[in-house]
Amino acid sequence: MKFLRIILLFFQVLTLAIHAKPIHYSNSSNDNFILSGFGFYSGSDVFTQSRIQLGKFVPLSGNTDQMKKFFNALKNSKEKVIKIAHYGDSLIQGDVISEWLREKFQERFGGKGAGLLQIVSVDIKMRQTTKHTFSDDWNYVAIITRNPDRLPFGISGSVAVPKPGSWVKYESTNYLSSTSSFRIIKFYYSNADNSTTFQYTVNNKTKSTIQLKPGNNVQELKIDLKDQVTSIELKFVSGKAPYCYGVSLESGNGVYLDNFPMPGNSGVSLADIPKNIINDFNELIEYNLVILTYGANVNSPNKNIFNLYENKMVTIIEEFKTLFPNASFLLIGVGDKTMKRGNKFITNPDVSLLLEAQKKIIEKTGITFWNLWESMGGENSMDSWVNAAPPLALKDYSHFTQLGGQRVSQLLFDSIMDLYQKMSR
């Protein structure tokens, strides 16, 4: 009889897991995340719940006065589009951290849509906010790939060239309310001529054909659909094949955060994006905040490597400040990375060396800094994030789960809003 009860309980748990409701996440940093051991249920559900409140509030530091550019723009979010570019390494791949930061900004300041997405992407299976599919015949290159034809990278560090019939499709999901639909499509390209023709399909039904504008500069094709939609497909029909840089999914005024991950990169390859391309994009988009989340790929027993990294990043940031004259800049410090010593996981010695280099970068460039390592809990904190229930970090002791990314985004958003409120007063 006891054995039968155990079997019955197993099938009850399995049935509930299959029909599970979406996770409910708190929007307040003061609330605990309430999740079941399966990661499905919330609130007062039948499973035993785990309460997670790792991390702590850490204020923005460095030259916080330059954040005024972004904060002044936020005050006008009802009248204009506010743009954030989030560059980073594999820590933000799959829209991790970016997705929840976007959600929080849009909840408070308006906007609805995933922002700028690449034509071809290597993280489509990780991304929950948008279902992104494309044909396999695009000539795609990026900062993280070889570029034998020396094609010009776009603002995201990638470019794709189509063949007749090449297509890309974006479908919204119900993962987050901020990316559940969109109304406006902005397609960015260059190198087209009067013969370049594309077809776009809305919600798998309505098909329209449009001719692109010729020119070597980056162009913006804006399609206002008037009503909210959930899918858009672009197909290259005929003519000269253009350089295609991405599609932005928006819904009018408000905040849009563009996620630009470059896995395996230290950030120094941002110099490979042509300056004229950045200028063209900034004229069309005008970014108000540039967030840089790099550092995890800088590791060496040679201290001179960190000095070299510091000097290269200073050069890049100074250049980007010129290219984005109306933007504030925020560097997110490296998070905790651990290594196994005996039976314990301790902070990798590279972390302190990298943090020291990043603080020097802040001093030399006069931008703002957020110390992720300290916010995680400092020394040896990654072990707690990995072993949280459910886990907030992966077993590689370097990257966050999507739930961990949500926690990081909440801590970061709280720090940004804390300074915003102080400056507003």
| Residue 67 to residue 50: CA distance in whole angstroms | 37
Model pLDDT for residues 322-375, shown as the tens digit of each residue: 999 999 999 999 999 988 888 888 999 999 999 999 999 999 999 999 999 999
Residue 58 scores a pLDDT above 60: yes
CB of 408 within 8 A of CB of 400?
A: yes
pTM over 0.85: yes
Q: Where are the alpha helices (DSSP H) in 185-263?
A: none
Model pLDDT for residues 387-422, shown as the tens digit of each residue: 999 999 999 999 999 999 999 999 999 999 999 999
Portion of the chain with pLDDT greater than 90, in percent: 82
Model pLDDT for residues 147-205, shown as the tens digit of each residue: 999 999 999 999 999 999 999 999 999 999 999 999 999 999 999 999 999 999 999 99
Closest to 122 measured CA to CA, from 263, 247, 11: 263
Residue 62 scores a pLDDT above 50: yes
CATH 2.60.120.1360 fits 114-252, yes or no: yes
pLDDT of res. 247: 98
Model pLDDT for residues 6-52, shown as the tens digit of each residue: 443 443 333 333 333 333 333 333 333 323 222 322 332 322 233 45
Evaluated on CA atoms 275, 119, 232, 200, the torsion sign reads positive
Q: Which CATH number fits domain 54-111+253-425: 1.10.3720.10, 3.90.800.10, 3.40.50.12780, 3.40.50.1110?
A: 3.40.50.1110
Place of tokens 């960190």: 306
Q: E strands, 239-327, where?
A: 243-250, 254-261, 287-293
Q: How far apart are the first and last CA of the chain?
A: 67
Q: Domain limits of the chain? A: 18-53, 54-111+253-425, 114-252
In degrees to the nearest 10, what's the CA dihedral of 277, 281, 282, 285?
Answer: 180
Model pLDDT for residues 90-111, shown as the tens digit of each residue: 999 999 999 999 999 999 999 9
